[in-house]
Amino acid sequence: MWIFGIFSLFCVLPCSSFFLSELLWTDSSETEKRGNETTDELKTLKQQNATFNGSIDLIKNADNFTEESNISREQSSTSAALTVTPPGTNTTESITENTIEHHDTADKEEEQKAEERMHIEYIKRQLMAKLRLSSAPVSKSDASVLPLAELGRGFLQTQHDQGQKKYKPHHFYAKALQIYVIGNDETENCSYRKSAGCYYFDVNGKVPASDVQKAELWIYKLFYHRDPVVQTFVVSELGRTNRAERKVRPRNIINRFETKIKHGWLKIDVTETVVRWLQKPARNDGISILCKGCQRKNHKTIFSSKYDSMPFLAITTRKSHRSRRSKRSAPVACSLGYEGCCLAPLEINFDEIGWTGIIAPKKLNYAYCKGSCNDEIDAHSNHSKMVQEYRYSNVATDKERREMTPCCAPISFSAQSMLIRIDSTVIHQNIPNLIPTACGCL
């Protein structure tokens, strides 16, 4: 029995020694490994510390450079302006405020120019629609063919409509008040040309015959010192014996009169003849005017053929009455710093926009509405007043207040008269509801 115990002791001791040595070797390896890891961590920390210190140096250098640059810029700005900065004044803040103010002013000016360009394009479209034109009125020849001083510029005055009226289609389109038809010299086709001039006026389709109130022939008599004191003129309607014949001759006398006018415009009533031409265009072969007693025989030495004094027909329509001006309070005009709904003036030069067919006026004094309608008192109609009351009630949400804000829009308009040349015809048009005269929140 004791032999078995001794044998067991000898077997257990080596095994225990083996396991103990193995355990001790493992602990030492782990300790060595941890020591190496600690060393690596220390190296990494040292590198990060060095990098951090380098970054701090870079930041300090950058701050110093920025401060030096700011000082340099301030000195340059100060020297360029040749100004002395008072003690206690912050130069940087002053320069910044001036720069911001300059940019704000430039932005506002550019915004206003863009707004004006938009309204100019709008009024161009409005005019073309009201005049029933498919393209802009452009005249290749000199547009000043009429004696505006003789005709009187009063008809070009702006005409104010009476308040606001219920919309009707005929209140939109322009109405022809006077139509001026420039004559073509057809004297070479006249069989009788001695002391006489022959002219053709194309009136076909210019105006309905029922709308003609009056028609006058305007022809300019040239001065000649040998002409008698009293001169007799005979105006005749021209005609052909047959349609194949080219030559025309006086067919029937329209008017006969005497005058002491040595030179100037002669105005001859030809209403019945023009109405007949409009009813039966084939009857229109022109007009002959003969000067009895004139010493000169060539019509070009008796009657002017210059571009500004050529013979023409002046046709007045029955619609050419003026509307009365209504008395109304002066509109709110836009002024500097005012942000409410107001009327802003805008001058439109027809030559600058390429509308050379507009004889008069050359410039249109237009206006448009702009500004805010956010205040509760900004309401023109009962509807907009109710909207404003709801917007400022406790029931309305912020979104509703924004979306239901009324718009600043025209509430009254005025008409504008214009002389427009299309080919050989000049038309005096009255364009209703063209120029805004007052604005309101709608």
Q: What is the pLDDT of residues 278-320, one digit of tens each?
A: 999 999 999 999 998 888 888 888 899 887 788 999 999 986 5
Determine what percent of the chain is predicted with pLDDT higher than 90.
Answer: 29
- Class of residue 273 by CB neighbours under 10 A (exposed 0-12, middle 13-18, buried 19+): buried
> Over the stretch 214-227, which tens digit does the pLDDT of each residue have?
999 999 999 988 88
Mean pLDDT rounded to a whole number for the chain: 75
User: Per DSSP, what are the bridge partners of residue 252?
Assistant: 237
Cα separation, 233 vs 253, in Å, equals: 11
Alpha carbons 278 and 257: distance in angstroms, whole number: 25
Confidence of residue 383 (pLDDT cuts 50, 70, 90): confident
Tokens standing for residue 33: 């490994």
Which amino acid, residue 229? V
Are 404 and 142 contacting, i.e. CB atoms less than 8 angstroms apart? Answer: no
Element spanning 305, H or E: none
The tens digit of pLDDT for each residue in 350-365 reads 999 999 889 888 999 9
Give residue for tokens 């006489």. 196
Query: What are the structural domains of the chain?
Result: 108-136+324-421+431-441 (2.10.90.10), 184-310 (no CATH)
For 112-140, write each residue's pLDDT tens digit: 889 899 999 999 999 999 999 999 988 77
Residue among 345, 344, 336, 361 nearest 420 (CA): 361
Of 159-163, 331-335, 388-392, the poorest mean pLDDT is in 159-163
pLDDT score for 39: 54
Whole-structure pTM value: 0.62
Are 219 and 267 within 8 A, CB to CB? no
Bridge partners (DSSP) of residue 431 are: 416
- Is residue 371 within 8 A of residue 342, CB to CB? The reply is yes
Confidence grade of residue 92 (pLDDT, cut at 50, 70, 90): low
CA atoms within 13 A on the CB side of 348: 24
- Name the residue with tokens 């193995």: 22
Closest CA to 344 of 113, 103, 105, 107: 113
* Cα 229 from Cα 232, distance rounded (Å): 10
What one-character-per-residue DSSP string does 60-109 give? Answer: HHHHHHHHHHHHHHHHHHHHHHT--PPTT--HHHHHHHHHHHHHHHHHHH
Q: Are 392 and 418 in contact (CB under 8 A)?
A: no
Q: Rg (Cα) of the chain, in Å, rounded?
A: 47
Could you tell me which of 149, 186, 184, 201 has the C-alpha nearest to residue 313?
201
d(CA 155, CA 212): 18
**172-225: per-residue pLDDT in tens?**
888 888 899 999 999 888 888 788 899 999 999 889 999 999 999 999 999 988
Torsion of CA 432, 434, 435, 441, to 10 degrees: 100
**Report for 29-38, 383-392, 428-437: range of highest mean pLDDT:** 428-437
